[in-house]
Amino acid sequence: NQAAAENVFARHDQVDMDAVERELILMGELDEAIGAGQIEVHYQPKLDIAADRIASCEALVRWRHPTRGMVRPDLFIPLAEQADRIGPLTLFVLDRVVNDLQSWRASGLELTAAVNVSAKLVASASFAAKVRDVIESGRVRPEWLILEVTESAALAEPERAAAVLGEWRAMGVSVSMDDYGTGQSTLSYLRQLPLSELKIDRSFVQHAHQNRADALMVRSTVDLAHELGIKVVAEGIEEEACLNFLREVGCDMAQGYHIGRPMPATDFVQRLTNTSLA
Ligand code: C2E
Ligand code: CA
Ligand code: CA
Ligand code: CA
């Protein structure tokens, strides 16, 4: 009957409104979050497999919300992108990474660090200018810095993307293709981009030591990337057997909970200055 149907719709609307409202509130709060010191940068170690040493890390942003607790980046990064707040957020992360790299290097830690750059920012002229400013400021050596982009950034405007990535490489910054394998494009297509590194998505890596198809994908990606002079990072290493497989196929770097979880800078440094690796 009609009353019941209306009721169902009313309740349905209510649910959607709650979700929309929550997003709008979060979006507003995100504006204040940086100034309020609620945004933190955590680091996840990247293991140089052959050297058996932590040589790099990935900066992963965290929002310590005063009432909601830790808000996951998969939740607020897309919001920040929609609300055009991803620029300031990424510049905040970049600035923090530059400061941390300086202090790590000053204490003799030979590390590089990766920053995630959204597709939207790859297309942004003002972000490109900011990256140039940071490099030209001399606060950081460009070789210490890796910028991670996803395929969607490269595919939306291929020529623009190739030009921007080429500019970064010309400055001496490394460029990494993130989440490799999840999109449509092949490595022979991506070869047109000036990449220094390829990160194989964890969905292919996680079971590569026990699944023939995944093993084949990882092995052939490593071989082809190496032929093109591109280093390979495998993400999502959760067990030793997986790391052993990667060593066997000649993968350059490994990242995942088995190596180390994302952690605050102080914990990361402490972990590196202790003798044990894992
Ligand atoms: P991503 O760039 O692919 O980062 C890797 C994600 O995998 C991280 O999630 C990391 O904590 C998680 N991870 C690492 N090792 C393992 C593992 O062994 N097993 C499993 N199950 N997961 C693992 P996180 O930190 O929640 O970040 C999620 C996504 O949010 C990132 O995916 C990235 O796309 C985005 N993101 C994070 N920080 C930033 C940032 O500063 N800027 C931008 N634009 N995006 C960011
Ligand atoms: Ca990444
Ligand atoms: Ca990734
Ligand atoms: Ca991802």
Mean pLDDT of 152-164: 85
Cα Rg of the chain (Å, integer):
21
pLDDT tens for each residue of 106-119: 999 999 999 999 98
Is residue 278 over pLDDT 50? no
* pLDDT, tens digit (0-9, with 9 covering 90-100), for 52-111: 999 999 999 999 998 889 988 998 998 898 888 899 999 999 999 999 999 999 999 999
CB 206 near ligand 1, within 6 Å? no
Task: Say how many Å lie between the CA of residue 60 and the centre of ligand 1.
Answer: 6
Q: CA 84, CA 159: separation in Å to the nearest integer?
A: 23
- pLDDT digit string (tens) for 32-55? 898 899 999 999 999 999 999 999
Looking at per-residue pLDDT, the higher value among 70 and 154 belongs to 70
User: pLDDT confidence of 169, banded at 50, 70, 90?
Assistant: very high
* First and final C-alpha spacing in the chain: 63
Name, in order, each residue with C-beta under 8 angstroms of 239's C-beta and a sequence gap of 6 or more: 209, 258
ipTM greater than 0.95, yes or no?
A: yes
Residue 113, helix vs strand vs coil: strand
Choosing from 79, 116, 149 the residue with most ligand 1 atoms within 8 A of its CB, the one to mutate for a pocket test is 116
Q: Residue 211: what residue type? A: N
Residue 275, SS3 per DSSP: coil
Grouping H, G, I as helix, E, B as strand and the rest as coil, residue 145 is: strand
Residue 278 near residue 257 (C-beta atoms within 8 A): no
**Pair 21, 29: CB distance under 8 Å:** no
Question: How sure is the predictor about 8, in pLDDT bands with cuts at 50, 70 and 90?
Answer: very low
Structure tokens at 156: 């939306």
Q: Which ligand is nearest to the CA of 61?
A: 1
Q: Is the CB of 257 under 6 A from ligand 1?
A: yes
Bridging pattern class, strands 112-116 and 197-200: unpaired
Pocket test for ligand 1, best of 39, 40, 60, 258 (most atoms within 8 A of CB): 60
Kindly state the DSSP code that residue 193 receives in the 8-state scheme.
S
61 C-beta closer than 6 A to ligand 1: yes
Q: Which of 2-6, 58-62, 231-235 has the lowest mean pLDDT?
A: 2-6
